[in-house]
Amino acid sequence: MTQTPRMRRLAGRIQEIVAVTLRDQVKDPRVGMITITAARITPDLRDATVFYTVLGDDADWAATSAALESAKGVLRSAVGEGTGVRFTPTLTFTPDQVPEVARHIDDLLSQAKQADEQVARQAASAQYAGDEDPYRIPEIPEISDASDKT
């Protein structure tokens, strides 16, 4: 579904409010190096999905996910105060898969580049199969007609 300008503005505002609130008000030590990458809101403005990434290993991801779930009430209150909409949207936190997908695409591109280099090396030492000019017309010896000379 196409987002209306109001939906885009509200999603951007929710993203900003959640990021600032996490930085300034949430003092949970489980919240690690988190980045709020995006927010999306449903057309009825009742549910918001907040995407995030965490710098660290799987344990850091799990700890940050648990901290976000426990701070959901504080974050929703801050969103309600900061947006001024009639109904404060419920917040759902979803890990953003973009960094992993980008890393996977980068790996695929480097493999493709290596394959291209290998093909180029093989092409440099390649030789034609058969004659140099496969379309060369062979010379046909002239047939002398003995009956014409007599």
Contact of 14 with 75, CB cutoff 8 Å: no
What are the sequence ranges of the domains in the chain? Answer: 5-96
Q: What is the pLDDT of residues 4-23, one digit of tens each?
A: 888 999 999 999 999 999 99
Q: What is the pLDDT of residues 69-117, one digit of tens each?
A: 999 999 999 999 999 889 999 999 999 888 778 888 988 898 888 888 8
3-state helix/strand/coil string of 56-82: CCHHHHHHHHHHHHHCHHHHHHHHHHH
- pLDDT of res. 113: 87
The model's pTM = 0.68
Query: What is 5-96's CATH topology?
Result: GMP Synthetase; Chain A, domain 3 (3.30.300)
DSSP labels, 3-22: PPHHHHHHHHHHHHHHHHHH
Per-residue pLDDT band for 148 (boundaries 50, 70, 90) equals: low
Q: What is the pLDDT of residues 132-144, one digit of tens each?
A: 676 777 777 787 7
Give dist(CA 28, CA 30) in Å, integer: 5
Q: Taking the C-alpha atoms of 75, 50, 24 and 7 in order, what is their torsion angle to the nearest 10 degrees?
A: -80
Contact of 78 with 16, CB cutoff 8 Å: no
Q: What is the pLDDT of residues 18-57, one digit of tens each?
A: 999 999 988 888 887 899 999 999 999 999 999 999 988 8
